[in-house]
Chains A and B, each alone.
Chain A
Amino acid sequence: MSKHQAINRFGVSSNPAFSQFQKINASSIEGRMTLDGAVNKTAILLSLCFAGAFFGWNIPSLVIPAAIIGFILALITIFRSPAKARVTAIPYAFVEGLMLGGITGFAESMYPGIAINAVGLTFAIVAAMLFFYKSGIIRPTENFKLMVWSGIVGVFSLYLINFIMMFFGNSIGFIHSNGTFGILFSLFVVGLASMTLVLDFDFIEEAADKGLPKYMEWYSAFSLMVTLIWLYMEVLRLLMKLQSRR
């Protein structure tokens, strides 16, 4: 009689070693990334960002340190293993909240009512892009990804050149101007950030579909937070330009 026949006859073994094996199998199924999990993790990071914004609004002096720490945390999260994303994504969300709260508080003091407009518009864009993606109206392809990445590299190169020029008391005028060209540039960047959201959604959808490990939920939520923060900053900048024309 073979060993397999014995198992068939007497049922599942009560050996604790085998029961451990069964537990591992069960946890490996539970340990897969899901859409639900990614949404929950994004909600956690968003809540932390809002909490940070509350403090940042009241303590504006934290803006610059928060921006520097946030940038370092983002680099660590991107270049370290995605398995450790949770460790850095949580403080990243809070610190970025501090920065956004301070900047928004400053904008609100200049143009009352701009904060809720910017927050509302940002989330409206996210909801619209999510709907367009889920329904298949916007279909990200390799060409789409290439186009968006080219735009991102172009815009960030421009920002970097502008940043370096600021040390010499100069800057690229149209980035900050409230003229037609300045507003068109801001609209373009808001559009680019919105298209980046589509890439994030597609990445999350495929990662969940392929059943990547659970920790990828944190990495996905972090990626989404980076885009959301960028989108919010650009929306705020656009609204400030429009308000300053009045």
Chain B
Amino acid sequence: MDSLFWLLIFVFSLVLISSLGRVKASKRQLNRNNRINWSRRTKNTETIEQNIIEGESYEVSENNEK
């Protein structure tokens, strides 16, 4: 009986973990200014955003080159 109880707990926990794990954390958790700065650990990993060069784009025409 004790084992059955813990087996049910295990199955219920697995279902909860797999469903809750895919959901984003609440705004209360994410929108804080005292969150941990993990960037020191991840600075060596290339982010996709780094491929975007920020700045103004302008049209090049032959008249401008002259």
Contact = CB atoms under 8 A, between A and B. Distances in A.
Interface of A: 2-4, 28-29, 31-32, 35-36, 38-39, 42-43, 82-83, 113, 116-117, 119-121, 123-124, 126-127, 130-131, 133-136, 139-142, 144-145, 199, 201-203, 205-207, 209-213, 216
Nearest to A145: B36
A202 B20 CA distance: 14
Nearest to B64: A2
Contacts of B3: 113, 116-117
Nearest to A39: B21
A142 B27 CA distance: 19
Task: State the majority secondary structure of interface residues on A.
Answer: helix
A134 B36 contact: no
A127 B48 CA distance: 31
Interface of B: 2-3, 5-7, 9-10, 12-14, 16-18, 20-30, 32, 34-38, 41-42, 45-49, 51, 59-61
Q: Which 8 A-B pairs have the closest CB atoms?
A: A120-B6, A136-B28, A123-B13, A136-B29, A127-B13, A120-B9, A39-B21, A120-B10
A121 B29 contact: no
